Amino acid sequence: MKNEILLQLKNVHVHYGGVKALDGVDVSLDEGEIVALMGPNGAGKSTILKAVFGLAPISSGKVLWRERAIVPVPHEASERGIAFVPQGRRVFHDLTVLENLEVGGIASAESRVVKERLGEVLELFPVLREKLAKRGGTLSGGEQQMLAFARALMSDPSVLLLDEPSLGLSPKYVKEVFEKIKEINEKRKISIMVVEHNIKSLFSVAGRVYVLDKGRVAAEGDPQTMIDSNIIEKVFLGKLES
C-alpha cells in the first residue's frame, strides 16, 4: 500500500524580478519519507522550501497539502503541521534554551500540551536538558542546530523542512545532525524534506533525491540511481546538456 502524499509542488514558478528561481518545478513528499533536494548554488533548492512555507512569491503553479491546493502562508503552514528550520540555525540568542523551546510550541498549544511536548523533545535531545537555563547564543554551533530542530518539533509537525542543516558545523556535529534527522523520521514518524550539500551524509538517510539545475528538476530517484547515473557530477560541474 502506497503511503499518502503529504506535500506536492506542481509546475511551480517563482520569480525574483527577472530571475527565474523556480521554472516549472514538480516535487512531492510522501508520508514517512526523507526527500533530499540537491544541486549547485542558485539551483532553486531553498526556494522550494520557502515556497512551501509561504516565504517565496509563487507566480504560477500549485502547492498541494494532502492533495488539496493551498495558498502557502507561514502561520497557516505551521497550523497544518509544517515546520521550517532555515539555514543558519536562527535561534533566539538572548532567550534561554527553555524559552526558545517554549516559543516553538506556544503558538499552537495550551501550556499543558507545551509541557508534555517539552518532555518528549528533551528525550530526543538530551544535550539540551542540561542547558535549559543557558542563553541560546552561548551554545556551540552544533548545539544551536539541535535547539533549532527541537524548537521546530515543539509544534508537533508532520512535515519538517530543513535548509542546509550541516552548514558551518564540525564533522562531529555533521554526523550527529544526520543521525538526529534519521531518528526524528523513524521515532516521530515525521516526513522530512532537506536541502543539503553534504552528499555522503545526505544519501545515508534519504530515500529519494531530486537534483535541481537552474530552477528545474534535472533528475529524481533513489540515492543509488543518482550515483550510478553521474547526474550529480554533471550538474555540479555545469556539464548537463540543456
Residue 109, pLDDT score: 63
Does any domain span residue 242? no
CATH code of the domain covering residue 97: 3.40.50.300
Per-residue pLDDT, averaged over 47-59, amounts to 96
Total of domains in the chain: 1
Query: 28 near 8, Cβ under 8 Å?
Result: yes
Residue 239, pLDDT score: 67
Query: 66 near 12, Cβ under 8 Å?
Result: no
Does any domain span residue 186? yes
Does any domain span residue 241? no
Residue 240, pLDDT score: 67
Does any domain span residue 112? yes
Does any domain span residue 213? yes
What's the mean per-residue pLDDT of the chain?
Answer: 91
pLDDT by residue (tens digit) across 183-208?
999 999 999 999 998 888 889 999 99
Residue 1, pLDDT score: 55
Its domain, for residue 134, covers 5-236
Q: pLDDT exceeding 90 applies to what percent of the chain?
A: 71
Does any domain span residue 162? yes
Does any domain span residue 116? yes
pLDDT by residue (tens digit) across 11-22?
999 998 888 999
Does any domain span residue 15? yes
Residue 216, amino acid = R
Q: Taking the model in full, what pTM does it have? A: 0.92
Burial 55-74 (b: 16+ CB within 10 A, else e): bbebeebebebeeeebebee
